[in-house]
Structure 1
């Protein structure tokens, strides 16, 4: 360790983390190029070639020219993902608001039958309807 001082280690780590940060930004730009539906095929190909051949300049120009749209697409995708997740939760949780699902409905029908409010025949018809 005597040949590599602490300050050099610090600078090496800093450059390494900046390089990793740069790679994340490069991949973010490349995925945004493909995610953008307003760009045509030739536009996507041009931006991709520009970002691959001259990566620092290409990414810098892309972020300056299309950065606002990039953030809007991120927000739109996040909202769509959240809506899909909420929809999945609603479908999985079942009906809410007093029903409680098929089990609660069957319990209510059984209670009505025991009280004599409905006949055994009506109970069987309602039970078949609930279970279908």
Structure 2
């Protein structure tokens, strides 16, 4: 080899920084694009025609479509996301309460029969009431 190869300086630091910046901005752009698409599909106030129009606008002219969508409907995006998260949390809390309470919605038939037998043994249920309750659990 006649010449020295200096690989460490073939790509300047500023060039590396700009490349990383462009990759970061591209990833942020994809996240915003998909958030807008998900918001279009989840929005119950939009009809089918409006959803189709927004989707066509966002797909055919992505940069302009997303910017216009965020400008026109951006305030509601956060509210809709917060409302959905609140509804999911409420559903989860209700499920946990039902399951922990063992009110028949979360327990197995075996658990219900054991609870009925315990109440019957303590005298809380007559034989006829126990049989009716047992039939209800088994069917």
TM-score by length of 2: 0.69
User: Please, which runs of 5 or more residues in structure 1 have no aligned partner?
Assistant: 96-100, 113-117
Of 85, 88, 98 in structure 2, the residue corresponding to residue 81 of structure 1 is 88
Helix, strand or coil for the counterpart of 1:39? coil
Helix, strand or coil for the counterpart of 2:9? coil
> Which residue is 2:30 aligned to?
23
CA displacement, residues 35-94 of structure 1 (integer Å, 9 cap, x when unaligned): 111111111111001111111110000001001111111011011011011112112222
Structure 1 runs (4+) greater than 4 angstroms displaced:
101-110
User: Please, which runs of 5 or more residues in structure 2 have no aligned partner?
Assistant: 1-7, 103-110
- Aligned length in residues: 120
Cα distance between partner residues in 1 of 2:9 and 2:86: 53
TM-score by length of 1: 0.72
1:30-109 aligned within 5 A: 30-94=37-101
What is the CA RMSD across the aligned residues, in angstroms?
A: 2.8
Cα distance between partner residues in 1 of 2:12 and 2:117: 76
